[in-house]
């Protein structure tokens, strides 16, 4: 039988907040719990502070928990000897997360391309930097919902950016301002654990990179003109016909489960009636003789995404995802115009 013992609320507070308590001698409190035959019991409706206290006590006693495992791929915000306490910001404990903290999301990457007038083969790192004076853990009342009880909240100030995402090239990416789109087009970046292809890039009058358009998605496929293929995305099946691939405009029209898309250029997207977004990544026309409609395949090729995600990064503006601005975000593409170099992508 498990042995249950109570510990004074004062001790719980001391353990939870990481403070010392002068009002009681708690230096030998663990001696009251000999061996490992100890259970920490928390009610199903327990307040958050009681649950946090129970976790700290269990860790101190070496008691293994019987609850759910941490979320896969998550990172616990703590530093050696410095837990996140009430009144503290995330920044106070860990100001920056990197590969060792989130090895999938913030993995190092490699950018390689030989298009246009430049060639690049450079590595890059990714970081999430928390802002000071926001992301504060408070035990307080929810002012936005009067029905909520006083509880533990992580408070983010609307006036302060919660964090900054940085992709930093170890050596700058070189580009030709006179042909920037050709240099960047269809080159790949792995950002926040997902592959994206740059489908458009522009520079301003000062030759600073002022926009990048990226596309990624759940399922990437290529088809010859007139061909039909069937794909499964989640629990849905999609029959895709590459109905028309134009040599002159380098565009494509697809028919998906009987629904015909608009004519799409590279980088364009179309939303199906079921809400699935389709995006054209690349069109490769063959200027030779066309095969007649109805034959097995044509000579032109289209590469597209099902479940497409299009990200537009415009210098000084908010990030746009599938045409919708991300409130409070800000794009900073750090460029050396004189050298024709892109060194960082900050969001």
pLDDT in tens, 231-258: 999 889 999 999 999 988 999 999 999 9
For tokens 């590595």, the residue is: 123
Q: Where are the domains of the chain?
A: 9-61, 217-310
Classify domain 217-310 at the CATH class level.
Answer: mainly beta
Which residues contact residue 224 at a Cβ distance below 8 angstroms, ignoring those fewer than 6 apart? 242, 297, 298, 299, 300, 301
159-171: pLDDT as tens digits: 888 889 999 999 9
105-136: pLDDT as tens digits: 899 999 999 988 899 999 999 999 989 988 88
pLDDT at 330 over 80: yes
Span of 53-62, 180-189, 192-201, 222-231 with lowest mean pLDDT: 53-62
User: Which pLDDT score, from 0 to 100, does residue 346 have?
Assistant: 96
Higher-scoring residue by pLDDT: 51, 313: 313
For tokens 């101190």, the residue is: 60
Kindly state the DSSP code that residue 31 receives in the 8-state scheme.
G
User: Which pLDDT score, from 0 to 100, does residue 294 have?
Assistant: 52
Span of 72-86, 145-159, 329-343 with lowest mean pLDDT: 72-86
140 φ, ψ to 5°?
-155, -175
Cβ–Cβ < 8 Å for 341, 175:
yes
Percent of the chain with pLDDT over 90: 54
66-109: pLDDT as tens digits: 444 455 667 777 766 777 788 888 898 889 999 998 898 899 99
């Amino acid at each position: 039988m498990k042995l249950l013992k109570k510990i004074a609320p004062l001790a719980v507070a001391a353990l939870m907040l990481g403070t010392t308590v002068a009002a009681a001698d708690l230096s030998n409190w663990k001696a009251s719990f000999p061996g490992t035959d100890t259970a920490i019991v928390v009610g199903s409706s327990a307040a958050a502070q009681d649950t946090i206290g129970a976790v700290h006590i269990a860790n101190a006693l070496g008691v293994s928990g019987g609850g759910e495992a941490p979320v896969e791929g998550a990172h616990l915000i703590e530093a050696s000897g410095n837990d996140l306490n009430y009144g503290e910001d995330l920044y106070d404990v860990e100001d920056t997360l990197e590969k060792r903290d989130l090895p999938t999301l913030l993995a190092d990457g490699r950018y390689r391309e030989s298009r246009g007038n430049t060639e690049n083969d450079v590595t890059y790192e990714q970081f999430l930097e928390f802002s000071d004076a926001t992301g504060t853990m408070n035990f307080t009342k929810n002012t936005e919902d009067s029905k909520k009880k006083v509880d533990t909240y992580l408070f983010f100030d609307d006036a302060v950016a919660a964090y900054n995402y940085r992709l930093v090239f170890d050596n700058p990416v070189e580009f030709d301002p006179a042909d920037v789109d050709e240099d960047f087009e269809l080159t790949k970046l792995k950002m926040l654990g997902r592959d994206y292809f740059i489908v458009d890039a522009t520079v301003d009058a000062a030759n600073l990179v002022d926009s990048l358009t990226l596309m990624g998605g759940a399922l990437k496929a290529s088809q010859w003109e007139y061909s039909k293929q069937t794909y499964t995305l989640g629990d849905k099946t999609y029959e895709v016909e590459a109905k028309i691939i134009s040599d002159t405009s380098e565009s494509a029209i697809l028919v998906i489960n009987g629904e015909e898309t608009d004519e799409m250029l590279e980088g364009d997207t179309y939303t199906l009636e079921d809400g699935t977004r389709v995006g054209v990544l690349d069109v490769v026309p063959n200027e030779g003789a066309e095969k007649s409609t109805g034959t097995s395949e044509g000579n032109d090729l289209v590469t597209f995404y099902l479940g497409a995600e299009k990200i537009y990064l415009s210098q000084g503006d908010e990030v746009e995802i599938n045409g919708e601005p991300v409130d409070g975000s800000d794009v900073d593409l750090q460029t050396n115009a004189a050298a024709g170099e892109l060194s960082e992508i900050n969001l």
